[in-house]
Amino acid sequence: MKKLLFILIFSMFNASLFAEFPWPCSDNSECPEGTSCNSSSNTCMMAKDKVVDYTVLYLDKGENNPNSRGSGTIFIPNPSKDLVLGQLAVKAGGDNGKIYFITDILVDISASSQIHFENFKLIYDENGNAVADSSEKVLAEGKVEGYGMSFELDQRYTAFKTNQTENFLIVGTVSADKDLPNDRFNIRIQGNKDYIKTKTYSSDAEVSASKDINNFPSFTFEPQSGYFLFASGRHFPAAPSWREINGEYEIMHLRLKALDGANELTGLTVKLDGNKVAFGNGVEKISLYIDSNNDGKGDTMVAELSDFTEPQQSVTFQIPSGKIAMNQGEEKFLTIKTALNFYNDQNTYFYISESDVALKNKQKIEGTTVKTDNFIYSCKEDNPDCRLKPEENQEEGGDSGCSLLFVD
Ligand SMILES: [Ca+2]
Ligand SMILES: [Ca+2]
């Protein structure tokens, strides 16, 4: 009897689930994939063989999520239209290729009340490049809800497939009535059912999230007057793991903008802060490039320093006149490339502070200090790939073998 009651309740529950299924329709074109329009109830009904019975969703920042590495914030013009505030990646487990539904996404906004948010959109970033391409669908318009924005997805676009990463962009227009120095804002998402509402055949999905889920970038408006912008660019790299440290590659991507009148970069100092590393001990070469297409890779070399005779903690590039000059409002991108050859226990970060930026027309700098991650070379000494500190006599090469030479 008990068993029968259970079955009865269970089937009633199941039946009511279908009755409450939220999508009204008059024909199939109004229903998401995996469903069809039932002509008697005028609702989209799930097909049991196409829709996953149960799944767990995993939320993470997207692979191309913009980041505020370097300056700790991304400087943007005021106003900024259709700004990509973050790229969210969603992946569901379960039967391969079956469908689950995302009906709502909620995003918190952390910002001062002086910043205005408008025209929020949730965009399906089909190619995952974190750019809202013109062919990509707007899934929902945002509605202000408490301290956040809620997106109720267009019912036709709620179906997604299990076992593939889906990327979503949170896009909005932001503005402020006046300069807001040091005012940063960003979005936040938590990995639970309050932030992402779903449907599967039998209920809804469980939700979990990466610890990086809230690595959405911070933004700050560029000041309108009195400043020159010297900040990290959008391709500012992360430090590699110790195995990838030794080599020649870009360690900084920089964005310069003449915010208030024409100006010119005339010199640039790069410093180290770390353990046992110096230019001349671990850093063998450092070069400054112009990145003319803003892809994070240097195109034209401006200056290069190498063959350091004494280990030193800073280097200064002298920049030829006119080489990095900007008109009012113009921006330029630079990269800094190094050749590194670290041994075990060496680590450092590289940084550029306000006083390290020399301008033709002196101005206050916005965006500094620009700082890399810590480059840490740390490995087990018995690992054959681990480079150990060279012996002193090896370091000095053949010189140590002929320390004294008498000539009559
Ligand atoms: Ca895209
Ligand atoms: Ca380039």
232 CA from centroid of ligand 2 (Å): 15
- pLDDT tens digits for 141-187? 999 887 889 999 999 999 999 999 999 999 999 999 988 877 999 99
pTM of structure: 0.84
253 CA to middle of ligand 2, Å? Answer: 10
Q: Calculate mean pLDDT across residues 261-286.
A: 98
**247 C-alpha vs ligand 1 centroid, how far in Å?**
32
Per-residue pLDDT band at 396 (split at 50, 70, 90):
very low
Q: H/E element holding 89?
A: strand 80-92
Question: What's residue 8's pLDDT?
Answer: 37
Q: Which domains does the chain have, with CATH numbers?
A: 56-221 (2.60.40), 227-389 (2.60.40)
- CA 384 / ligand 2 centre spacing (Å): 36
355 closest CA partner among 288, 257, 267: 267
Q: CA 205, 208, 209 angle in degrees (round to 5)?
A: 140
Confidence at residue 334, expressed as pLDDT on a 0 to 100 scale: 98
200 C-alpha vs ligand 2 centroid, how far in Å?
45
Query: What is the 175 CA–ligand 2 centroid distance (Å)?
Result: 30
Average pLDDT for the chain: 90
Beta strands in 235-372 (DSSP E): 247-257, 263-275, 278-279, 282-290, 300-306, 314-318, 325-326, 331-340, 347-352, 357-359, 364-366, 370-371
pLDDT tens, position by position, 353-388 = 999 999 999 999 999 999 999 999 999 999 999 999
Nearest ligand to the C-alpha atom of residue 167: 1
Given a cut of 50, whether residue 16 has pLDDT beyond it is: no
The tokens for 337 are 């490339």
CA of 82 to the centre of ligand 1 (A): 13
Query: What b-and-e string marks burial along 318-352, b requiring 16 or more CB atoms within 10 Å of the CB?
Result: ebeeeebbbeeeeebbbbbbbebbbbbebbbbbbb
Residue 367: Cβ-neighbour burial (10 angstroms; 0-12, 13-18, 19+)? buried
Would you give the DSSP letter of residue 340? E
CA diameter of the chain: 116
Q: Which ligand is nearest to the CA of 130?
A: 1
Residue 392 has what pLDDT? 66
Instruction: Kindly identify the ligand whose nearest atom is closest to the C-alpha of 292.
Output: 2
Ligand nearest to the CA of 132: 1
**How distant is the alpha carbon of residue 4 from its chain centre?**
54
Q: What is the pLDDT of residue 21?
A: 59
The model's pLDDT over 27-72, given as tens digits with 9 standing for 90+, comes to: 999 999 999 999 999 999 999 999 999 999 999 999 999 999 999 9
Say if residue 140 is exposed, middle or buried (CB neighbours under 10 Å; 0-12, 13-18, 19+).
buried
Ligand nearest to the CA of 126: 1
Per-residue pLDDT for 312 more than 90? yes
Which positions ≥6 away from 16 have C-beta within 8 Å?
none
Give the integer Cα–Cα distance in Å for 353 and 268.
Answer: 10
User: What is the helix (H) or strand (E) element at residue 43, kind and residue range?
Assistant: strand 43-46
Contact 205, 98 (CB under 8 A): no
CA–centroid distance, 133 to ligand 1, in Å, is 5
Confidence of residue 95 (pLDDT cuts 50, 70, 90): confident
- Ligand having the closest approach to the CA of 137: 1
Calculate the CA dihedral of residues 108, 109, 113, 119 and round it to 10 degrees.
-100
Ligand approaching nearest to the C-alpha of 296: 2
**Which pLDDT tens digit goes with each residue over 201-240?**
988 999 999 988 888 999 999 998 899 999 999 999 999 9
Encoded tokens for 400 = 């140590």
